[in-house]
Amino acid sequence: MVKAIVLFNSKGGNTKKVAMKIAEGLETESRSNKELPDLTEYDLVVVGSWVIMGRISFAGARYLRKLKRKGIDGKKVALFFTSGGPDEDHPFSKDKENPKKIKEVMFEKMENIIAKNKQVTIIPERFYCKGAIRMMGEVKDNIGHPTEEELEQARLFGEQLKTQLEV
Ligand SMILES: Cc1cc2nc3c(=O)[nH]c(=O)nc-3n(C[C@H](O)[C@H](O)[C@H](O)COP(=O)(O)O)c2cc1C
């Protein structure tokens, strides 16, 4: 049996909701960046974060860096995130004719931080969806996201990871 855990950081709760659903699909637990466990006993670590000003948040980047100390070397890693618009053109893309999407930039950044000097295998399967934008506690945009449908997709993502890794 594959031993898996889902990790996340979340300010407004969207990424946490998605993390919990992925964990449900995997039949395992989710933990926030504030309660990172020792990872040595796991085969698969699912790692999630969210986007601020087109980037990973400061707290998000810090927790991804911390994963080395927690024993992520040698593990399989799957990535996910929530954002205002994962499929939208990245506002600071250098190539203005052919701009990168927010999802590409975000996954690249997460991969770079996690895989730096570490023996991790980032698996190609990954998940992203929209999250309601809360500023000073008030919902400003993307009301209702992640939707029930997106949360079901997150659960299925977890289930697929489980099936795939158990084969
Ligand atoms: C201050 C702030 C800045 C944000 N900047 C971006 C952004 O540049 N691009 C984007 O796609 N989403 C942006 N978002 C949307 C968040 O990434 C999205 O709402 C995410 O789901 C929040 O996750 P959380 O609820 O787990 O904290 C921003 C949200 C906030 C609150």
Q: For 95-148, how does the pLDDT look when each residue is reduced to its tens digit (9 = 90+)? A: 888 899 999 999 999 999 998 877 999 999 999 999 999 988 899 999 999 999
Q: How many domains does the chain have?
A: 1
What pLDDT, in 10s, does the model give residues 81-110?
A: 999 988 888 888 888 888 999 999 999 999
CATH number at residue 12: 3.40.50.360
9 lines ligand 1 (CB under 6 A): no
Pick the closest to residue 49 from 70, 64, 28 (CA basis): 64
Q: For ligand 1, atom 2, which residue shows the shortest CA distance?
A: 52
- The domain containing residue 32 runs over which residues? 4-166
